Amino acid sequence: MKKALVTGISGQDGAYLSKLLLEKGYEVCGTSRDAQVSPLRNLDRVGTRKDVRLASVALNDFRSVLQVLFKVEPDEIYNLAGQSSVSLSFEQPVETQDSIYLGTLNLLEAIRFTGKAIKLYNASSSECFGDLGGQAATEETAFRPRSPYAVAKSAAFWQVANYREAYSIFACSGILFNHESPLRPERFVTQKIIRSACRIAQGKQKRLQLGNIEIQRDWGWAPEYVEAMYRMLQQDVPQDFVIATGQTRKLQDFVATAFAAVGLDWREHTTIDQALFRPTEIMIGRGDASKAAEKLGWKPKYKMAEVVQMMVQAAAEADG
């Protein structure tokens, strides 16, 4: 039985990945800073909490990371931990850099220290590309990060590449574009939109306040994206991959689709708030996952409209 260590297992991707790995016969250990008190609602929602082993790890503490590797003895590590909000990174740039870059570096160095053949997946981000003016990003596209979050992810990406080349460690990064699900917390704008539309339809909320709705993103379905992560670590040679749908839609389209799903016209219930605009913004994000299709056999089934419908349905069911 293979063993997988999943950092950040309580998040959206970690929960779905735990379900996938358990279905494939893995023994799964998930980490958080304090496993005894960490909220694990997402594991409850996907039905894996009782089957996942938990461990407390501070990824910015090398000794803590090394201890869990000796304790768990994983065959694969999926590094999904770290500060995950682009907006919050502007308010907490040091914490963002520390949790993303240093955490990744400690995992890489701990693998090198143990000398064991452990495979590492690192969660990178489309934010690393910056604003490409509508060009679809591939694995060869240069990074031009425009947020503290993107800077941290870019640094972690290159550290993974360095350890792969310098120390022959099986380490790779998935450069994932936006991917959503009902497990997204409401601090993410997509879930904020979904839940607000449902509450407004139920008469529980008056209006939805949003920032720049002209931005365009490549939105996919999170459960499909964790399948791509898994496939990356099953390759004979470690490589980095862009994971995306290739379809870009405006945030305004996301809003309109969500409100239409509950029988409302978004324009009658939405206010644009300049205070919610970011200091720097990526206007268009689009990915080209041709390499993943060719080498991983991975292709997305769901695009933005289907993702919104599934999130609205889940929110309606949760509200009873």
Question: What residues have CB less than 8 Å from 76, skipping those under 6 apart?
Answer: 2, 3, 4, 5, 26, 118, 119, 120, 121, 233
| Six-digit token string for 228 | 């791509």
The 8-class DSSP code of residue 284 comes to B
Amino acid at 285: G
d(CA 239, CA 218): 22
Is 239 in contact with 295 (CB distance < 8 Å)? yes
Half-sphere exposure (CA, 13 Å, Cβ side) for 264?
23
Catalytic pick from 125, 147, 154, 173?
125
Active site residue 125: yes
- Residue 208's φ and ψ, nearest 5 degrees, are -110, 125
Catalytic pick from 76, 127, 180, 224?
127
**Crossing angle of the two packed helices 148-167 and 103-114, in degrees rounded to 10:** 10
Is 110 in contact with 167 (CB distance < 8 Å)? no
Is 160 in contact with 120 (CB distance < 8 Å)? yes
Active site residue 121: no
User: Left, alpha or beta for 82 (phi > 0: left; psi -120 to 50: alpha)?
Assistant: left
Residue reference for tokens 């993303």:
100
d(CA 129, CA 125): 8
For residue 319, the tally of other CB atoms under 10 A from its CB is: 12
> What positions carry a catalytic annotation?
125, 127, 149
